[in-house]
Chains A and B, each alone.
Chain A
């Protein structure tokens, strides 16, 4: 099945954001990271496990009537660093955006080490993860220096 067909599983959106080429099974994590929940009032389409020429299988998310900001999208570097993001206006792609993994992720995830000082949720300084390596992705807590287990880290989204 071609990529074009898989995109038609849900209707085209008029205005909003399409996040394509999410690694298979990560769509729910992406929604979590973007803070999109059942309390969100805008329509959200979720397509999971569809065939992709590039990736084998992939997930897709369409968020209507909301243009995600670069800051919001950069959070996705943890679970979907190669996702394609398009801002849709009047049914056409108005802007293509790239997810940037900077040198540090600030207030995106909490350190997975239970004895880290940041595990006291009342401590007010930002949660900071240093990017030690991009491929493979390796993150370390700025405070305790512990290398992070990425599977556990995704569950620690702020």
Chain B
């Protein structure tokens, strides 16, 4: 997108202005990452390979300023620890810079600024935007409003594709492949956006999926029917423990108190699953336990020291996965030999 000039054409009609087109002069059209549908399987594999090569850079063992002079805008309208920090770390490890929206309570959002207006401002300041927003569809809306790529860091109960990329990276790192695995997704499958995006991606790679959740937190039926229409092999159950024996991955999620409007409803399902080291005696040796974090009590600390625990590495993998995505969306090629291209810190 270097040396390109981007022009938005606006049509004013009935006091509503519509984008007729976003014309990019002398460059490529802008593409962000809103859902996993924005990436082909081949692109996913390439990004995961790029991420793998960037591991020494993410660990701080090698200096490789691929994104020097580029600015990432971090727009987090909802609390975030891992996603926001790992985006910031990823950008800075690659020599780029970051500007933050800061606390929503003190930003112009509290004064009633629309998302459209906020994006008009931020895309003038930055080369790429990472965004989390409480409303579903906000990321697509932002992409339609913006001239720079948007990386969706979570939109309500919608999608969280950068989390999916780091999840896929973690699974591939452990099993050496993505296809043909048996994966259990457990906990809050109704509101948990990470499991929505992940189940789509795993279906595309031919994994067998088991959805374990309390009845009121089942995977939304439209997602299940979508997955099945794409050939998904899906089992729905409330019984997590009996399904673990031949699983390759157990992906736990937190029951999200903040998504319940009724405290009593939350109380009924809080603590539905509590995975303890004692529950792991009959599982496969190579089975990994993942969690997008933060956890409450769905994974007991006794699991942390077992060979199965991968959630802290998973959180670290957020940095490399996001480094590779930032490079991809900014049109920067990750060198085949990073050791040769990089230097000492």
Contact = CB atoms under 8 A, between A and B. Distances in A.
Interface of A: 106-107, 111, 113, 115-120, 122-126, 141-147
B136 A115 contact: yes
Contacts of B158: 144-145
Contacts of B141: 117-118, 123, 125, 143
Contacts of A124: 16-17, 114, 116
B137 A116 contact: yes
Interface of B: 14, 16-19, 35, 112, 114-116, 133-138, 140-141, 144-145, 155-158, 222
Given A125-B19, A125-B144, A126-B18, A113 B116 contact: no
A136 B133 CA distance: 33
Nearest first, the 7 A-B pairs at minimum CB distance are: A143-B137, A144-B137, A144-B136, A117-B135, A117-B137, A117-B138, A117-B141
Nearest to B17: A124
A110 B140 CA distance: 16
17 contacts: A115-B135, A115-B136, A116-B137, A117-B133, A117-B138, A117-B155, A118-B137, A122-B114, A123-B114, A123-B115, A126-B18, A142-B137, A143-B138, A144-B136, A144-B140, A144-B158, A146-B136
A147 B340 CA distance: 50
Nearest to A122: B114
- The interface centre, meaning the residue of B133, B135, B155 with most chain A CB atoms within 10 A of its CB, is B135
Given A118-B137, A122-B114, 8 more contacts: A117-B115, A123-B115, A123-B116, A124-B116, A125-B144, A142-B140, A144-B135, A144-B140
Contact of B114 (A120, A126, A144): A120
B16 A116 contact: no
A105 to B, nearest CB: 13
A142 B37 CA distance: 13
Contacts of A145: 35, 136-137, 140, 158
Contacts of A116: 135-137
B116 A111 contact: no
A105 B156 CA distance: 24
A141 B137 contact: yes
Contacts of B156: 115, 144
Nearest to B13: A107
Given A125-B19, A126-B16, A111 B137 contact: yes
B112 to A, nearest CB: 8
Nearest to B11: A126
Contacts of A142: 137, 140
B80 to A, nearest CB: 18
Contacts of B135: 115-117, 119-120, 144
A7 B141 CA distance: 46
